[in-house]
Amino acid sequence: MLSEKTINTIKSTVPVLEVHGTAITTQFYQMLFTNHPELLNIFNHANQKQGRQQAALANTVYAAAQYIDRLEEILPVVKQIAHKHRSLGIQAEHYPIVGKYLLAAIKEVLGDAATDEILEAWAEAYGVIAGAFIGVEDQMYKQAENQTGGWADFRAFRVERKIQESNVITSFYLVPEDGQAIASFEPGQYISVKLDIPGENNTHIRQYSLSEAPGKSYYRISVKREDAILDRPAGKVSQYLHEQVKEGGTLLLSAPAGEFVLNREDKRPVVLISGGVGLTPMISMLNTLAETEPDRQVTFIHAAQNGLSHALRKEVELLTRENPLISASWCYEAPTAEDQEGDAYHKAGFIDLPWLQSKIPSKDAAFYFCGPLPFMKAVNSALKEWEVPASDIHFEFFGPAAALEG
């Protein structure tokens, strides 16, 4: 338990963190990697370069300060982050290292404003927060290893099949090299892929949603090739997977993880909305519903650049033909001439509320969505305008969480 003095001191830093939070976390990562370069084998370098990881950590620190007297309110965020930590292999011994450089960064950025009283309060608070993460993650590690077909750390899987799904997305069907059972998962969860890429100094780990229903003898991930765009370099891992990893090759996987999952207890209609490669967890949910709850109404809506980039469309169309309770609609930002022949898509441009309302039978449903951040902001805004209750809106970020407001 934190003392009232510590709580008040932490709360007094909230306005400062709102202004200087990203500067503090940027300084933190610079110090951390300078003194512990081995941790570059865990963190996503691309997110670091784009500033996404720094912003996400700043938001987490800010939230912790705001809710320091009622940390139970941010437990869902703790669990979400803990799932990512477990899938990456973050260990209890990493937390004292992080705490050391976080406090050093606060001191460096705030200067004389970071008094001994403030630093001591944050040291005490960090100990409590780190303890919560360590406890939650310890349970997750045990569950991942001890479940049927489970394992610790990373396990070797063979690429049984590699199938091009669109001009930018390829699916990898992965089976365990040891021939043993694999852990089940909840639709919406992801695995981490760990790669040693020739010519790279550090190991790279990326998380990919499982794009098939659970209960199979394989895992399927469907990976978008991230090409260089403007000031964003090409994705090293996605390029390597697409161009260098062949059928018969080996990938190292963590056990499935993630908090963004289909609520199977809610028997109301389901609405699945995706943009781009954000369709991967939605496809897992869709296939699961088709296999296990064929009497449940499902509306599947997907946005893509055009038909060339639209992955797994035939798979979805087959489900709609087999089950009249499943409907699917496409929105293409820039449809090609071939797309415009017949009824290849249902809307040109971007998803908006009137079109969603024309495709969704009722807002009394469970809504799930995933995709690029601008897409997610637009969908979230539309659902709020429609007055869909917040408790019925569920979403997933690829990479560090960001704000959907604004």
3-state secondary structure the chain: CCCHHHHHHHHHCHHHHHHHHHHHHHHHHHHHHHHCHHHHHCCCHHHHHCCHHHHHHHHHHHHHHHCCCCHHHHHHHHHHHHHHHHHHCCCCCHHHHHHHHHHHHHHHHHHHHCCHHHHHHHHHHHHHHHHHHHHHHHHHHHHHHHCCCCCCCCEEEEEEEEEECCCCEEEEEEEECCCCCCCCCCCCCEEEEEECCCCCCCCEEEEEEECCCCCCCCEEEEEECCCCECCECCCHHHHHHHHCCCCCCEEEECCCECCCCCCCCCCCCEEEEEEHHHHHHHHHHHHHHHHHCCCCCEEEEEEECCCCCCCCHHHHHHHHHHCCCEEEEEEECCCCCCCCCCCCCCEECCCCHHHHHHHCCCCCCEEEEECCHHHHHHHHHHHHHCCCCHHHEEEECCCCCCCCCC
Cα 406 from Cα 394, distance rounded (Å)? 18
Write down the pLDDT at residue 48: 72
Q: Please name every residue paired with 270 in a beta bridge, in sequence order, or none if there are none.
A: 298, 366
Write down the pLDDT at residue 400: 57
Class of the CATH-defined domain 270-396:
alpha beta
Write down the pLDDT at residue 405: 65
pLDDT tens for the chain, 406 residues long, are: 788 999 999 999 999 988 999 999 999 999 999 999 999 998 877 777 777 788 888 888 888 888 888 888 888 888 989 999 999 999 999 999 999 999 999 999 999 999 999 999 999 999 989 998 999 999 999 999 999 999 999 999 999 999 999 999 999 999 999 999 999 999 999 999 999 999 998 999 999 999 999 999 999 999 999 988 877 788 899 999 999 999 999 999 999 999 999 999 999 999 999 999 999 999 999 999 999 999 999 999 999 999 999 999 999 999 999 999 999 999 999 999 889 877 778 999 999 999 999 999 999 999 999 999 999 999 999 999 999 999 999 998 776 555 666 5
> Residues 62, 95, 141, 219: which is the catalytic one?
95
Residues of the chain with CATH 2.40.30.10: 155-253
The annotation places the binding site for heme b at 85
Question: pTM of the prediction?
Answer: 0.93
Pairing of strands 155-164, 169-176: antiparallel
Write down the pLDDT at residue 401: 57
The annotation places the binding site for NADP(+) at 276-281
Write down the pLDDT at residue 8: 93
Residues of the chain with CATH 1.10.490.10: 4-146
Cα 176 from Cα 33, distance rounded (Å)? 33
8 Å CB contact between 252 and 193? yes
Write down the pLDDT at residue 242: 97
Q: Is 120 part of the annotated catalytic residue set?
A: no
CATH superfamily, domain at 4-146? Globins (1.10.490.10)
> Residues 29, 126, 137, 186: which is the catalytic one?
137
What are the distances in angstroms from CA 11 to CA 8, 115, 202, 211?
5, 14, 38, 42
Which of 35, 29, 136 lies closest to 92 in space, CA to CA? 136
Q: Which two structure tokens, joined as six digits, stand for 372?
A: 């690029």
Q: Is 315 part of the annotated catalytic residue set?
A: no
The annotation places the binding site at 85, 190, 206-209, 276-281, 397-400
**CATH ID of 155-253, from 3.40.50.2000, 2.40.30.10, 1.10.3720.10, 3.40.50.12240:** 2.40.30.10
Q: What is the phi/psi pair of residue 43, to 5°? A: -80, 150
Write down the pLDDT at residue 56: 81
